[in-house]
């Protein structure tokens, strides 16, 4: 199967302008799960641009305090995407279990490295195939993008216990927590059981900083020792290191961000559920996903995009998700555009 083909993602406004004939400045872009409120990046000292970006112990310590782990369990990464691309290099078994719906870069990376992929649709399905197929590598996207489904720590522990029973320490449980900041429950990493657990975190989503490309890998020391070889000198730029450190310890801003995201999503999720009752709905902090039959959702997506509201349409085998990011200050306009489209179509 082809594996090098770039995956299509949300947020590609140049592509959307060409496809739907809309000017960039007219689009309201809800096609990503990036917060509409960005951590302020002003007043960066000139030296931060001039000096070589050696790994910052201060940032590691700040991140350890924010994520609640020890500072020797952290690798700084240029976005969690970079870690996803290199993750298969850590595996010692040629099989991997991936969620049927989920951020496609995981699938692309494992396919590229020649792994055999097993797609799972539920926790029970995952446990069954791990048992029968002897799969030592498992990826959980938690919460999942686009389905917004989230496994609790007890479920994750069940998966890891099974992997440990079957493979001792020679397994990999990758938990992609790129969207986890919005959830009240703590990261799985804090209750980790075994040495093969790797948690990915991102500054792109909750902090609205996707452009600076910064994330973290939280893992045991043996995995860190093996993985660090892929994180070469000066890989993350100085301004990104500087901003990340400031953002992760800015408790008042973090509290403000939680409350406005929560408020905006509560309102937005309820509104979408009321106005698109023919579909299934699920929200997590930074996006609301509408699930149903692919054709009608594609028509809705296209109609909205032509009318300047860009959502993200993801389909597989006749079913689809239409995912809406947070509208922020564009709430009223977005609601009007969806109302107009649904009157026209349904
Ligand atoms: C579930 C998930 N994980 C990871 C990423 C990569 O994010 P970043 O590289 O910005 O940390 C994305 C990007 O959309 C994502 O949706």
Q: What is the pTM of this model?
A: 0.96
Q: Select the CATH number that applies to the domain covering 52-249 from these four: 1.10.101.10, 2.60.40.420, 3.40.640.10, 3.40.50.1220.
A: 3.40.640.10
**CB distance 80 to ligand 1 below 6 Å:** yes
Contact in structure between 93 and 167 (CB atoms under 8 Å): yes
Q: Tell the residue number behind the tokens 């792994």, with chain if given.
A: 115
Cα gap 201→310, rounded to integer Å: 26
% of the chain at pLDDT higher than 70: 96
- Asked whether the predicted pLDDT for residue 151 surpasses 80, the reply is yes
Ligand 1 mutation pick, 105, 139, 150, 286, max ligand atoms within 8 A of CB: 105
Ligand 1 mutation pick, 107, 108, 205, max ligand atoms within 8 A of CB: 205
What's 13-38+252-345's CATH class? alpha beta
**CB distance 142 to ligand 1 below 6 Å:** no
Contact in structure between 150 and 143 (CB atoms under 8 Å): yes
Ligand 1 mutation pick, 86, 101, 145, max ligand atoms within 8 A of CB: 145
Contact in structure between 221 and 7 (CB atoms under 8 Å): no
Distance 321 CA to ligand 1 centre (A): 17
Q: Delimit the CATH 3.40.640.10 region(s) of the chain.
A: 52-249
**CB distance 79 to ligand 1 below 6 Å:** yes
CA atoms within 13 A on the CB side of 46: 0
DSSP string, 212-228: G--EEEEE-HHHHHHHG
Contact in structure between 181 and 39 (CB atoms under 8 Å): no
Can you read off the two tokens belonging to residue 12?
């590609």
Contact in structure between 61 and 69 (CB atoms under 8 Å): no
**What's the distance, Cα to Cα, between the start and end of the chain in Å?**
39
Q: Delimit the CATH 3.90.1150.10 region(s) of the chain.
A: 13-38+252-345
Q: pLDDT tens digits for 214-250? A: 999 999 999 999 999 999 999 999 999 999 999 999 9
Counting from 1 in the atom list of ligand 1, the atom nearest the Cα of 10 is 14
pLDDT of residue 2: 42
- Asked whether the predicted pLDDT for residue 112 surpasses 50, the reply is yes
| Residues found in the chain | 346
């Amino acid at each position: 199967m082809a594996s090098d083909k770039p995956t299509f993602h949300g947020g590609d406004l140049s592509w959307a302008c060409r496809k739907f004939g809309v000017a960039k400045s007219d689009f309201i872009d809800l096609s990503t799960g990036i917060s509409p409120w960005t951590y302020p990046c002003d007043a960066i000292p000139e030296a931060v641009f001039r000096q070589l970006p050696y790994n910052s112990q201060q940032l590691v310590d700040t991140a350890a305090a924010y994520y609640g782990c020890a500072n020797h369990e952290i690798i700084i990464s240029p976005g969690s995407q970079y870690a996803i691309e290199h993750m298969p290099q850590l595996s010692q078994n040629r099989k991997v279990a991936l969620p049927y719906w989920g951020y496609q870069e995981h699938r692309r990376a494992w396919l590229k490295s020649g792994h055999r992929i097993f797609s799972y649709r539920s926790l029970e399905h995952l446990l069954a195939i791990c048992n029968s197929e002897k799969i030592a590598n498992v990826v959980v996207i938690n919460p999942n993008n686009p389905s917004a489904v989230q496994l609790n720590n007890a479920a994750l522990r069940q998966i890891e216990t099974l992997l440990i029973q079957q493979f001792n320490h020679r397994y990999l449980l990758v938990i992609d927590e790129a969207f986890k900041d919005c959830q009240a429950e703590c990261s799985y990493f804090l209750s980790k059981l075994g040495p093969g657990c790797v948690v990915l975190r991102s500054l792109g989503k909750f902090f609205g900083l996707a452009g600076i490309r910064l994330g973290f890998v939280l893992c045991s020391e043996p995995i860190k020792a093996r993985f660090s070889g892929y994180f070469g000198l000066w890989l993350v730029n100085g301004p990104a290191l500087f901003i990340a450190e400031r953002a992760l310890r800015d408790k008042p801003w973090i509290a403000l961000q939680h409350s406005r995201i929560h408020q905006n999503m509560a309102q937005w999720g309820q509104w979408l559920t009321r106005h698109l009752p023919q579909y299934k709905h699920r929200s997590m902090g930074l996006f609301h996903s509408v699930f149903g039959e692919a054709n009608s959702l594609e028509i809705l997506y296209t109609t909205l995009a032509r009318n300047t509201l860009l959502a993200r349409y993801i389909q597989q085998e006749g079913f689809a998700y239409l995912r809406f990011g947070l509208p922020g200050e564009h709430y009223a306009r977005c609601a009007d555009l969806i109302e107009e489209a649904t009157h026209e179509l349904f």
